[in-house]
Chain A
Amino acid sequence: MSRTRTAGLPGWLYAPAALGAAFVLLPLVAIVAKVDWANFLDLITSESSRAALALSLRTSAASTALCVLIGVPMALVLARTTFPGQRILRSLVLLPLVLPPVVGGLALLYTFGRRGLLGHTLEVLDIRIAFSTIAVVLAQTFVSLPFLVVSLEGSLRTAGDRYETVAASLGARPTTVLRRITLPLVLPGLLAGAVLSFARAMGEFGATITFAGSLQGVTRTLPLEIYLQRESDPDAAVALALVLVVVAVLVIAWLRPERAAR
């Protein structure tokens, strides 16, 4: 079989590289090894587990939808227009990527909480957000929005605006261009961004527990449930952890062909 070869790497490099790979993979093996397979189904279908799993799926789906609704316009504005302060704005939008989630949760609490920035207005409207399921969705959206915006903005820049120019010259209004040309062309990037956002939302812990608390069936998502069960019922915690690992593996499997195609 023919093979191409590069200039070659120094031999010693393989040792730390293998160590790194082991460092990532070994903990996954450890979790799988720890699973109590005999009771696995019972553990992940207990009432509290099912409530947490259902809540996580519901809220993650809702926050992913919210990310698409506000993230797509944000990515379009960042990729296709220029305005003063755009570079600063782009950096700020990425802030939740590097901000500790607990800090994000605290920030949300001081925005939407009863004593928060918008608290009084919301109080007047009789809307209470903190420590509700909506708070879970907001916390998840806050941390996962940058994933969608970054992924989609990259796709938009790669696709360029030449097809859009042609479409406009053929008489298509901006809305038609967006609907029939721009969005279909960046659909792979949009899906990749949405899947990343969903995965980030499923795993969200710090901002959720700070802003939404941990009320079974209302705000106690899967990661919170795992954290709480860790003390009382380690077997259930491990079983649920495996569920999140499976979700993560599925996400990676979904994204891989997209990456390869680029």
Chain B
Amino acid sequence: MSLEFTATVADRGLEVAFEVATGETLALLGPNGAGKSTVLSVIAGLLRPDTGRVVLDDRTLVATDERVDLAPHLREVALLAQEPLLFPHLSVRENVAFGPRSRGRSRTEARAAADAWLDRVGAAELGDRKPGEVSGGQAQRIAVARALAAEPHLLLLDEPMAALDVAVTPALRQTLRQVLADRTTVLVTHDVLDALLLADRVLVIDEGRVVEEGRSGEVLAQPRSAFAARLAGLNLLHGTWRGDHAVLPDGSQVHGIVAGPEPAVGDLVVATFRPHAVAVYLERPVGSPRNVFATTIDDLEPLGDLIRVRAGQLSADVTAHSVAALDLVLGTAAQLTVKATEVAIYRL
């Protein structure tokens, strides 16, 4: 019970294979034109691969060697794109009821299902409106409800938050976290946070090939592929919330700004900050309201015109000039500091 995917598409240079376990969310990361959306098109039945095989829960969706190619409407795979694409001539409720109606449910049942889903995504009061009368964020919530009301075996999300105002993405991300739990999902995204907070595993695709694969936290914290490093390379520290700061397993404290919903005391949280925001000192700075981590340098690698300093779980991007001035080498004991305002804390 899962998704098995193998496909080659010659004219888009795609050759990719992966599996998604039942209930798992897989994030596809990669630069533009890497083939992420092509993968979704093959699964949804919008593009027939040159060779390949896609099996969902023991049902073969497409198998080129067996000449199987199920029509899109028979695949039970719902696709949610960047734009909500709500049917403009139907009310919000009718939009969400469209899937159940198409699967032969009665009008009453379909309406009840639609109202239940609208409630779950926090859009219960919008049922009677027309799509033109709701905001972009609301429309995308409704689109999520519509996709899920169709009771798909697999949900495909193609950058669902890319077209939204930055102000509304945290709330939608939270909604998605709730509804994606225990749901088999493939998520295409450019956003490291989406991959971190929504996905269990990450697959990095570049030039039509899988270049990296692993648990989200691991890939994003210690990326091996060049793309993932450029995209992510985020510092990720897991800890426990203590009301105004997080405590790491080694006992050190991290202060930051809570993004998204406020964690309760004792909740698991992750603190993220960019290597750019980290400064390196040899002595602990005095009287500074910063987060300070005492560590030793493990690695120095050039990254464009900067040097990425790796020390334990942390990375810092500093200029070659500072590396020389501080005489940083492997094994140097260093104090890595980051301002609290540069640290974003998310409830896990």
List of A residues within 8 angstroms of B89 by Cβ: 184-185
Q: Which residue of A lies closest to B104 (CB)?
A: A171
B73 touches A165 (CB 8 A): no
A181 within 8 A of B: yes
B103 within 8 A of A: yes
Q: Among B71, B74, B79, B103, which residue has its beta carbon within 8 angstroms of that of A166?
A: B79
B72 touches A165 (CB 8 A): yes
A170 touches B85 (CB 8 A): no
Question: Interface digits, B78-91 against A, CB 8 Å rule (1 contact, 0 not)?
Answer: 11010001011100
Sort chain B's interface into a size bin: 20 to 34
B30 within 8 A of A: no
A171 touches B102 (CB 8 A): yes
A171 touches B73 (CB 8 A): yes
Please report the C-alpha to C-alpha distance between residue A176 and residue B100 in the assembled complex, in whole angstroms: 13
B278 within 8 A of A: no
Within 8 A of B (CB), among A207-257: none
B82 to chain A, nearest CB (A): 11
Sort chain A's interface into a size bin: 10 to 19
Q: Which residue of B lies closest to A162 (CB)?
A: B85
B98 touches A180 (CB 8 A): yes
Q: Which residue of A lies closest to B98 (CB)?
A: A170
Within 8 A of A (CB), among B100-115: 102-103
A170 touches B147 (CB 8 A): yes
Q: Which residue of A lies closest to B147 (CB)?
A: A170
Given contacts A176-B102, A180-B98, contact A169 B72 (CB under 8 A): yes
Given contacts A162-B85, A185-B88, contact A171 B46 (CB under 8 A): no
Question: Interface digits, A91-128 against B, CB 8 Å rule (1 contact, 0 not)?
Answer: 00000000000000000000000000000000000000
A61 to chain B, nearest CB (A): 26
B196 within 8 A of A: no
List of B residues within 8 angstroms of A163 by Cβ: 85, 87
List of B residues within 8 angstroms of A173 by Cβ: 73, 102
Question: Interface digits, A130-170 against B, CB 8 Å rule (1 contact, 0 not)?
Answer: 00000000000000000000000000000000110111111
List of A residues within 8 angstroms of B44 by Cβ: 165, 169
Please report the C-alpha to C-alpha distance between residue A180 and residue B79 in the assembled complex, in whole angstroms: 19
Q: Which residues of B contact A (CB under 8 A)?
A: 44, 46, 71-79, 81, 85, 87-89, 98-99, 102-103, 146-147, 150, 152
